[in-house]
């Protein structure tokens, strides 16, 4: 059974285990500092598909297949799959997952989707409604950029605050049944609220998402009566350089100092200057592929033992952007412990 | 605690209650046969907003407000809101709900979203992670048609198989705490699988969704060892005339006869011939506003006592449609019992 703690935190009493995880990424990501941690990398970012949307779906399909293999499970033992992506009507998830024949629940949290799908999986397992679930998400540079910003052929200039959409997918199999004593477990989750401070610049999403991240993290510390130093790592999704600086300042204003143990998937996945990604990586696939590679591997090896993972989402659509609407942000949190 | 029954059905053991429900609709819906059952109707389908997307968001905002009022609850007592719509990146839900300050989980199941949000709410309450949740969804004719089909100004001809997107929203407050002994309860839920039989015609979504509905309903009967006659009503979301006929035939082929007690929200909400809606109503708001008006009212009054509600979704996006992709279908089921 789950239990509410404080205002927004949920204790997942049964501590479901991450029994399999996998990440697959494209060429640019394979040239970055996390290269050796990914399960599979693709030189050709079309992945042999006819459209970028299909390429992205294929990334999810691959990530799910590999995560299941590493968990030693068949798809028919999975009770539900929570999947989402950045595209209109979650279309890459639908086409990527449809052949898996697993009960499907489409999730939309923009770049916060990896945390959202892990939260839903954990709660569902804790309720007894499922033994095992999959959480998966993805993004693809070419599919996202042309949908949200400019046609790829246009070769638009990127502002210094812009982030580079990761081509990648990450998937985890979460289960009440533990197949390896080294598996990490889900301890707490926190579902974020929508925060809208009026940012309208789709090339500065770090700024749009940082306030939501700050609120979620602060709420978690207050609810659980813990402090930043209680965690080995405070890992945000894809705030990039601008958003990360904002987050640290915002939390410092609330007397929570995360300068020593914060990192951001958007800063980890590329060598920013050398790979010319400006403020860092972004996209659902950024936090998904970073979490499901270096982070969960280091937790499995007990090199890191206690983390909070806060995936952040910029809740915009091509339509809302064209209409001059603001970009509300959201941040969901998952507290993960290694078996160590 | 929830419990898995058979292959896909989930018993919601704590039987959470529907403690408030509300529906708001536009002009055309207010002229239809369910007119007197809606909580609020709008003559001006702009609802005083600048864009159709904002109008749709406003419908959700209104439905949530009314459902909370009828439940006698404040928004700050709600632990999570599950919301979704038809538009790109669930944008109407985001802008409609953002000011409510409730932990937010965006859901995408196309027209199956009302069942999906109710399923998630029920499981979350059953797990102990929430005391009360809101499930809400909407659609708006003008926002949906121009996104999925033709610019409104174009005045395109509609085929006989086309359905009319409902302008409306429905919201339910589901809670473990019962405020009225007449409240209906959630008994079972079933999460559907994606079914893709290759339909590509976005003006024949009944045909795209019927196979998924048939599979979900058949699975539920098999899992629970019940028969169609055990239910007062088998209510599908928005299959319309074509999809409903297909569903009944498909189930008859599997030896389940639902001819006597099936109805479809897409057939109930309009007078088809008089209101010129061709095959019937559709859109997330179709099943949401029908369920949250006549159906839940009749259950509250114990005129109907035992129903299965199967909302069906056509999982397409403007991008996938333009790329000539198929339209996969999905159907989620909620088994609701009156207090009678």
CB A310 within 8 A of CB A266: no
CB contact under 8 A, B194 and A97: yes
Q: So where are chain A's domains?
A: 2-175, 185-337
Task: Tell me if B84 and A328 make a contact (CB, 8 A cut-off).
Answer: no
Q: In Å, how far is A28's CA from the nearest CA of chain B?
A: 25
| Angstrom distance (rounded) from CA A214 to CA A169 | 25
When CB atoms are compared, the residue of B91, B129, B318 closest to A10 is: B129
C-beta atoms of B108 and A129 within 8 A: no
Facing residue for A108 by CB, picked from B1, B108, B320: B108
Which residues in chain A are contacts of B106 at CB distance < 8 A?
Answer: 107-109, 116, 315
Number of H helices, E strands in chain B: 11, 15
Of B231, B232, B114, nearest to B174 by C-alpha is B114
Token pair listed for B333: 């089921």
Sign of CA dihedral B137, B143, B145, B146: negative
According to CATH, the superfamily of the domain at A2-175 is: Stage V sporulation protein AD (3.40.47.40)
Q: What is the spatial distance between Cα A26 and Cα A261, in angstroms, rounded to a whole number?
A: 28
Give pLDDT, residue B156. 84
Equal fold, A2-175 vs A185-337: yes
**Residue B202: its pLDDT value, please?**
87
Instruction: Return the CATH class of domain B15-175.
Output: alpha beta
Q: Are A258 and A310 in contact (CB under 8 A)?
A: no
pLDDT at B27 over 90: yes
Please count the other Cβ atoms lying within 10 Å of the Cβ belonging to residue A274.
Answer: 10
- Give B26: exposed, middle or buried? Use CB within 10 Å, 0-12, 13-18, 19+: buried
Q: Please indicate whether, in this complex, the C-beta atoms of A316 and B147 are within 8 angstroms of each other.
A: no
pLDDT value of position B225:
98
Average pLDDT, integer, range B168-180: 97
What topology does CATH give the domain B185-337? Peroxisomal Thiolase; Chain A, domain 1 (3.40.47)
CB contact under 8 A, B127 and A127: yes
> Which residue in the set A97, A105, A119 is minimally distant from B191, CB to CB?
A105
- Which chain B residues are closer than 8 Å to A6 by Cβ? none
Per-state percent for chain A, helix, strand, coil, to nearest 5: 40, 25, 35
pLDDT by residue, tens only, chain A of 340 residues: 899 999 999 999 999 999 999 999 999 999 999 999 999 999 999 999 999 999 999 999 999 999 999 999 999 999 999 999 999 999 999 999 999 999 999 999 999 999 999 999 999 999 999 999 999 999 999 999 989 888 888 888 889 999 999 999 999 999 999 999 999 999 999 999 999 999 999 889 999 999 999 999 999 999 999 999 999 999 999 999 999 999 999 999 999 999 999 999 999 999 999 999 999 999 999 999 999 999 999 999 999 999 999 999 999 999 999 999 999 999 999 999 999 8
Which of B3, B90, B325 shows the shortest C-beta gap to A128? Answer: B3
Looking at B105-262, list the stretches that DSSP marks H as alpha helix, in order from N- to C-terminal side: 113-127, 141-148, 205-224, 240-253
Residue A235: exposed, middle, or buried by beta-carbon count in 10 A (0-12, 13-18, 19+)? buried
Q: Lowest-confidence range among A112-121, A313-322, B98-107, B145-154? A: B145-154
Residues of B in contact with A127 (CB under 8 A): 1-2, 123-124, 126-129
Rounded to an integer, what distance in angstroms lies between the CA atom of residue A285 and that of residue A237?
A: 10
Contact (CB, 8 A) for B239 and B206: yes
Contacts of B273 (CB under 8 A, 6+ apart): none
The pTM (predicted TM-score) of the whole model is: 0.98
Task: Verify whether the Cβ–Cβ distance A4 to B130 is below 8 Å.
Answer: yes
Which among A3, A84, A330 has the least Cβ separation from residue B128? A3
Q: For position A255, what pLDDT does the model report?
A: 98
């Amino acid at each position: 059974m789950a239990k509410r703690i404080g205002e927004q935190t949920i204790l997942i009493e049964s501590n479901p285990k991450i029994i399999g995880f996998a990440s697959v990424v494209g060429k640019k990501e394979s040239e970055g500092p996390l290269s050796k941690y990914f399960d599979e990398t693709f030189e050709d970012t079309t992945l042999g598909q006819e459209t970028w949307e299909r390429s992205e779906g294929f990334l999810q399909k691959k990530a799910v297949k590999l995560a299941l293999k590493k968990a030693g499970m068949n798809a028919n033992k999975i009770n539900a799959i929570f999947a989402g992506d950045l595209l209109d009507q979650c279309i890459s998830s639908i086409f990527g997952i449809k052949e898996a024949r697993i009960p499907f629940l489409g999730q939309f949290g923009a770049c916060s989707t990896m945390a959202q799908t892990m939260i839903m999986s954990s709660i569902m397992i804790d309720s007894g409604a499922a033994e095992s679930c999959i959480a998966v998400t993805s993004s693809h540079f070419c599919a996202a950029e042309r949908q949200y910003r400019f046609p790829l052929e246009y070769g638009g200039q990127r502002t210094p605050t812009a982030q580079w959409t990761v081509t990648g997918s990450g998937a985890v199999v979460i289960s009440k049944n533990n197949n390896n004593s080294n598996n990490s477990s889900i301890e707490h989750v926190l579902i974020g609220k929508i925060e809208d401070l009026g940012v309208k610049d789709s090339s500065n999403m770090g700024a749009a998402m940082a306030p939501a991240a700050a609120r979620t993290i602060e709420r978690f510390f207050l609810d659980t009566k813990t402090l930043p130093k209680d965690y080995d790592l405070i890992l945000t999704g894809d705030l990039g350089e601008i958003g990360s600086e904002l987050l640290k300042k915002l939390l410092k204003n609330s007397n929570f100092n995360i300068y020593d143990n914060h990192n951001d998937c958007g800063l980890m996945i590329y060598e920013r200057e050398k790979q010319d990604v400006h403020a860092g990586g972004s996209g659902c696939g950024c936090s998904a592929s970073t979490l499901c590679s270096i982070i969960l591997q280091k937790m499995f090896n007990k090199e890191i033992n206690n983390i909070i993972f806060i995936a952040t989402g910029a809740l915009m659509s091509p339509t809302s952007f064209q209409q001059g609407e603001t970009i509300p942000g959201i941040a969901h949190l998952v507290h993960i412990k290694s078996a160590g």
